[in-house]
Amino acid sequence: MAEYIQGEYFFLPQEHVLFGVGSLAKLANEVKVMGGQRVFVVTGHSLATQTDVVQKVEQALGSLHVGTFADIHQHTPKSDVARAVEQVHKLNADVLLSLGGGSVIDGTKAIAMKLSVEHGNFLPHIAIPTTLSAAEFSHLVGVTDEEQNIKAGFAHVQVTPTSVLMDASLTLSTPLQLWLSTGIRALDHAVETLYAPGAHPINDVLALEAIDRLFKYLPQSKYYPEDLAVRTELQLAAWMSFFGEVNTPMGLSHNLGRRIGASYNVPHGITSCITLPHVMRAMASTHASALAPIARRQGLVDSSASDQDAARSAADAVSALIQRLGLPQRLRDVGVPADELRKIAETTSSQSLKVDEIEALLKEMW
């Protein structure tokens, strides 16, 4: 009897994506189209004090800009969100604008959530990313509890940014290691899409295209960091990597990254550099058919290779890419103590591996 594919697809309430160099010129009109008059910018300290990016965005907003909160730290501490909410209240803002990487964008989602609990509605949110983490395309939020030093989170479709504006010229000030490592984060999104449970044919096509582009353009961006055409291609690849992520739950690499990142102050791009190749190898036997196309599209194996061999080759190729980009690949190199690997394993959720297996995997990463 024939087997038929069956599934369902959910759409996040994201209305508009603007992309390409020069898109910043459309920002003020974007605010007006959504009925906004008082825009509150949320960003990080480094971007505000060490670059002119925030100033450019404020100038593009003109009289629509009412204030800027430039103090969202890495991994989005809960206290930062609370202080930003106070400022939104004082300034009576009607549009939130996040400018930065995943921590800033997640922080702005958390601000929107907090305000909605207080007032019953969600403010429109325009996200302008300066990294490749792709948080702007997600309804997921990670916030760090500073007292417990653990990153928790929540999911709510209404915190998905209403609009996204990707202008590669605004990414030139992003430190190269941050830019490249968040590109590996996007690669992590795409790989985990492929072996996520359920049927997701649309996501799979985009994930494989994202992987191809990331393999091609990340090395080019390392050697030609000023090339805006290459940076634009990478922004599009990041979008593809996390397209409709509500349909593809995150896997073990992301779960380990969340657990390691906040507890040991490791950026999530770097956690993906360390965890992804090892998790791919661990999944090669159970998810071979999902991972094998990566290697086949890259021409890494011949047609006679088994899916399992192709899946392992894909993991090796990811590891080689990370090495070529000059990014960290070991837990010991980012300050994670060897005697805490068991605790990390015990507090990391996984549907695929048991605690002992996760611990063994962490020892390989160390």
Question: In sequence order, what DSSP letters do the residues of 120-133 get, joined into one string?
Answer: SSPPPEEEEESSS-
| pLDDT tens digits, one per residue of 270-285 | 999 999 999 999 999 9
Residue 6 pLDDT exceeds 80: yes
Residue 170 pLDDT exceeds 80: yes
pTM: 0.95
For residue 174, give both structure tokens: 């992003």
* Architecture category of domain 16-170 in CATH: 3-Layer(aba) Sandwich (3.40)
Q: What is the C-alpha separation between 97 and 56, in angstroms, rounded? A: 13
Q: What is the pLDDT of residue 248?
A: 95
Distance of CA 219 to the CA centre of its chain: 19
Percent of all residues in the chain with a pLDDT value above 90, rounded to a whole number = 88
Tell me the pairing of strands 95-100 and 39-43. parallel
Domain ranges (residues) in the chain: 16-170, 176-365
Q: What are 129's strand-pairing partners?
A: 100
Identity (one letter) of the amino acid at 115? L
Closest CA to 122 of 216, 12, 2, 205: 12
Q: What is the pLDDT of residue 45?
A: 93
Contacts of 44 (CB under 8 A, 6+ apart): 70, 71, 72, 73, 100, 101, 103, 104
Residue 38 pLDDT exceeds 70: yes
Average pLDDT over residues 224-233: 98
> Which is more confident, 351 or 36?
36
Q: What are 141's strand-pairing partners?
A: 154
pLDDT band at 262 (very low <50, low <70, confident <90, very high): confident
pLDDT band at 101 (very low <50, low <70, confident <90, very high): very high
pLDDT band at 238 (very low <50, low <70, confident <90, very high): very high
Q: What is the mean pLDDT of the chain?
A: 95
Contacts of 178 (CB under 8 A, 6+ apart): 101, 131, 267, 269
Tell me the pairing of strands 16-19 and 163-166. parallel
Instruction: Decide if 186 contacts 132 (C-beta within 8 A).
Output: yes
Using CA atoms, how far residue 211 sits from 64, 131, 361, in Å, is: 38, 17, 24
| pLDDT tens digits, one per residue of 44-59 | 999 999 999 999 999 9
pLDDT band at 196 (very low <50, low <70, confident <90, very high): very high
Q: What are 43's strand-pairing partners?
A: 99
CATH 1.20.1090.10 fits 176-365, yes or no: yes
| pLDDT tens digits, one per residue of 102-143 | 999 999 999 999 999 988 899 999 999 999 999 999 999 988
What is the secondary structure of 283-311 as a DSSP string?
Answer: HTTTSHHHHHHHHHHTT-S-TTS-HHHHH
Contacts of 181 (CB under 8 A, 6+ apart): 267, 269, 270, 272, 273, 325, 327
Highest mean pLDDT among 6-20, 70-84, 148-162: 6-20
Q: For 31-52, what is the HEC assignment?
A: HHHCCCCCEEEEECHHHHHHCC
Opening angle at CA 284, ends 278 and 286, nearest 5? 125
Residue 1 pLDDT exceeds 70: no
Closest CA to 151 of 73, 260, 245: 260
Q: What is the CA radius of gyration of the chain?
A: 20
Which alpha helices (H) appear in the chain, and where do they start and end? 27-33, 45-50, 53-61, 78-91, 102-119, 176-194, 201-223, 228-241, 252-264, 268-283, 288-297, 307-324, 341-346, 355-365
